[in-house]
Structure 1
Amino acid sequence: MSDLLRAPAEIKYAEELDWLESVDDGHKPFSWRLSPKMVRLFVLGSERADGLDREISQKWFGERSIVERAIVTLASDRGLLLIGDPGTGKSWLAELLAAAISRNSTLVVQGTAGTTEDHIKYAWNVSMVIAKGQSRESMIPSPIMTAMESGRIGRFEELTRSTSDVQDALISILSEKYISVPELDSDSDDSIVFAKPGFSVIATANSRDRGVNDLSSALKRRFNFVRIPVVTNKKSEADIVRFRTEELLRRHRIELDVPPTLLDVLLQSFADLRASAAAAGSDDEKLESALSTAEQIGVLEDSILHGNFFGERTLTARTLASSLVGSLARRDPEDLAILNKYLHGVVEPRSKDEGGEWPEFLEGGRDAIATLS
């Protein structure tokens, strides 16, 4: 994996998946590589009660019931729609599920305003069409069509970012389980591509995008909705941040232990800012940032790299505060004013009362705001 910037889950955890497959004696639906219990175990990690000869690492941090419902949905005829706020781990869960079930998480369509029906059905190799005419050989199948033909899991990221006509093209795929190719001879077996058992679609949608391109009632009926909640438990959030940060440190080959006191400062800062946003009376009084767990990880990574490249190869409260301000101040002057108010109204009293890392965090935040102002 050393020559890959980001390895997909089936490559990154190939050794674990191979071992789980070798000891899995459970019933496997369709063409699944692992049984539902083993899929859950791969995603959530092993426990002593599982009785395995080795430990399986936890990769997604959330409620077991959410993972179980997602797995059950994928074993049914319905598609799976993971919906939630930004940074709640929807895409990561979708990738892990596809890797465990199909050993291929890369059959992905990214939903944008520029996504067309061709992206979820098929296109044509123009040079081959000119030379030999339209045929299956000159067809370029979409990731979804490839998933259908191989009985695997296809993924559709940011479904609500796609236009209505693109979304509607999914309806026949999810209900009829085939794609018609009218350009080919209707008497030919190639004119219809049928889905093989095991095919399903995992889509994700950002709950903050509601109203961008709302899903039709017909499409909603073909999905099971699984809502991914924002992580509010401090311990769970700390586990997520620590897990992701350790991965980033390994990628950058940096040997550094994140001091628990600084991790607490980061978690408390985001908790304070979320509480302030919840109490705000208008959008102008809220940070533009979603204040997600993913953004916490980004702040921590930024401060670690800055300290490693330009500091004393250690993480400090001053650098952490500077990274937090730099990452969250997206609007000028609104976000800077909100962060300045937070520093003076919350961090300053806390630094006097509790001491510890807070005074240095306060000074680092003030310097960062002064630089950006």
Structure 2
Amino acid sequence: MTDMLRAPAEVKYADELDWLESIDTGPKPFSWRLSPRMVRLFVLGSERADGLDRPVAQKWFGDRSFVERSIVTLASDRGLLLIGDPGTGKSWLAELLAAAISRNSTLVVQGTAGTTEDHIKYSWNVSMVIAKGQSPDSLIPSPIMTAMQRGVIGRFEELTRTTSDVQDALISILSEKYVSIPELKDDSINTVFAQPGFSIIATANSRDRGVNDLSSALKRRFNFVRIPVVTNKKSEAEIVRFRTVELLRRHEIELDVPPTLLDILLQSFADLRTAAASATSDDEKLESSLSTAEQIGVLEDAILHSQFFGDRSLRADTLARSLVGSLARRSPEDLAILNKYWHGTVEKRSKQEAGEWEGFLSGGREAIATLS
């Protein structure tokens, strides 16, 4: 792990997965490495009632029913589509599920406007084709085809960012469970059949609605699980703390995040979400989705700034400058919204509650003035 900037879940939690596999006595569908109950336990963490010899940390924070429905879907012959706003943990949940079920979460296709059918089926090694012609040796399988051959989970990120031609190529894979290779003439090798255990976890951004909508035929091949934005402050605080601990460990930083500053961060995002919900036009909303992931990004920015350019202690004014710098993406629209929030809400709180809110007020004002 020390040689990886970001280790995949199956590497990061390899010891835990090995242990869970060694004590797992439950029935396992197909080629699954863990039973459905153990997959859920790996993702959501253990409880005292589980009676385990060692605790299992919670890795994804959300409703238990979302995880259970996802696991049940993957145990069937249908694909799983995780849909929700940016920053709701769709990709992280997909990675954890693939790691627990297949011990491989890296068979991923990243959907973009430039994604082609080759990215989900196969392509060719041009130099080998020129030298020896088209053969199984010159074939380059896509991550999805590799998942089919191995009987494991393949992942497709940002499905609605891809064109309809690419999406249509998934229909036959999800329904027929094979890929034809007409360039290979031998009937024994020109079709790749999916092995038991193969499935696809796709993610889609609900804010991309209208970009490349899914066809009704493709929708029927997926079970939808909608992941809502976390609005419960307790759950959101747990997520931010969990990710912050990982961040500090990765950067080898010894720092305690003051609970009062974490409360200010959570309250600020809650206030800005409320303002966005009551806005009557897009110009009155921040371009940011104000997701939990963006909160973590703001906190990471503030921690690293304090570490490299401060006295290595997190302060309210630094947090405020990081928040403004991260959320002010449009000028003058976003700056005007943040300026209104600072003068209408933060200033009021600094007078009523004082403490860290005063430093947060001054740091935010300074940042807004610098960007204006």
Residue of structure 2 in register with 1:344 after alignment = 343
* 2:143 paired with 1:130: no
Residue of structure 2 in register with 1:176 after alignment = 176
* 2:116 paired with 1:96: no
* SS of equivalent to 1:190: coil
Residue 248 of structure 2 aligns with an amino acid whose one-letter code is L
Work out the CA distance in 1 between the residues paired with 2:174 and 2:355: 56
Residue 354 of structure 1 deviates from its aligned partner by 0.9
Residue 188 of structure 1 deviates from its aligned partner by 2.5
What TM-score does the superposition give when structure 2 sets the normalisation length? 1.00
Residue 128 of structure 1 deviates from its aligned partner by 0.8
Residue of structure 2 in register with 1:358 after alignment = 357
Work out the CA distance in 2 between the residues paired with 1:326 and 1:189: 59
Residue 154 of structure 1 deviates from its aligned partner by 0.2
Work out the CA distance in 1 between the residues paired with 2:199 and 2:252: 38
Residue 196 of structure 1 deviates from its aligned partner by 0.1
Residue of structure 2 in register with 1:296 after alignment = 295
* 2:204 paired with 1:213: no
Deviations 1:43-62 (Å, cap 9, x if unpaired)? 00000111111000100000
What TM-score does the superposition give when structure 1 sets the normalisation length? 0.99
* SS of equivalent to 1:225: strand
Work out the CA distance in 1 between the residues paired with 2:258 and 2:223: 41
Map residues 269-288 of structure 1 onto 2, 5 A cutoff.
269-288=268-287
Residue 275 of structure 1 deviates from its aligned partner by 0.3
Map residues 213-232 of structure 1 onto 2, 5 A cutoff.
213-232=212-231
Work out the CA distance in 1 between the residues paired with 2:202 and 2:170: 11
Residue of structure 2 in register with 1:157 after alignment = 157
Return 5+ residue gaps in structure 2 as ranges: none
* SS of equivalent to 2:33: coil
Map residues 133-152 of structure 1 onto 2, 5 A cutoff.
133-152=133-152
Return 5+ residue gaps in structure 1 as ranges: none
Residue of structure 2 in register with 1:42 after alignment = 42
Work out the CA distance in 2 between the residues paired with 1:246 and 1:107: 27
Residue 3 of structure 1 deviates from its aligned partner by 1.2
Work out the CA distance in 1 between the residues paired with 2:40 and 2:355: 41
Residue of structure 2 in register with 1:370 after alignment = 369
Work out the CA distance in 2 between the residues paired with 1:309 and 1:45: 34
Residue 14 of structure 1 aligns with an amino acid whose one-letter code is A
Work out the CA distance in 2 between the residues paired with 1:333 and 1:13: 44
Work out the CA distance in 2 between the residues paired with 1:356 and 1:313: 20
Deviations 1:254-275 (Å, cap 9, x if unpaired)? 0001000000000000000000
Work out the CA distance in 2 between the residues paired with 1:132 and 1:190: 17
* SS of equivalent to 1:68: helix
Instruction: Name segments (4+ residues, structure 1) moved above 3 Å.
Output: none
Residue 189 of structure 1 deviates from its aligned partner by 1.0
What is the aligned residue count?
372
Work out the CA distance in 2 between the residues paired with 1:212 and 1:3: 38
Map residues 33-112 of structure 1 onto 2, 5 A cutoff.
33-112=33-112
Work out the CA distance in 2 between the residues paired with 1:188 and 1:282: 59
Deviations 1:147-206 (Å, cap 9, x if unpaired)? 000000000000000000000000000000000001011x43111000000000000000
Residue of structure 2 in register with 1:307 after alignment = 306
Residue 356 of structure 1 deviates from its aligned partner by 1.6
Work out the CA distance in 2 between the residues paired with 1:232 and 1:308: 30
Work out the CA distance in 2 between the residues paired with 1:200 and 1:178: 12
* SS of equivalent to 1:81: strand
* SS of equivalent to 1:202: strand
* SS of equivalent to 1:201: strand
Residue of structure 2 in register with 1:32 after alignment = 32
* 2:192 paired with 1:193: yes
Residue of structure 2 in register with 1:240 after alignment = 239
Residue of structure 1 in register with 2:324 after alignment = 325
Residue of structure 2 in register with 1:334 after alignment = 333
* SS of equivalent to 2:201: strand
Work out the CA distance in 2 between the residues paired with 1:4 and 1:234: 32
Residue 286 of structure 1 deviates from its aligned partner by 0.5
* SS of equivalent to 2:179: strand
Work out the CA distance in 2 between the residues paired with 1:3 and 1:184: 40
Residue 167 of structure 1 aligns with an amino acid whose one-letter code is Q
Q: Alpha carbon RMSD of aligned pairs, Å?
A: 0.5
Residue 71 of structure 2 aligns with an amino acid whose one-letter code is I
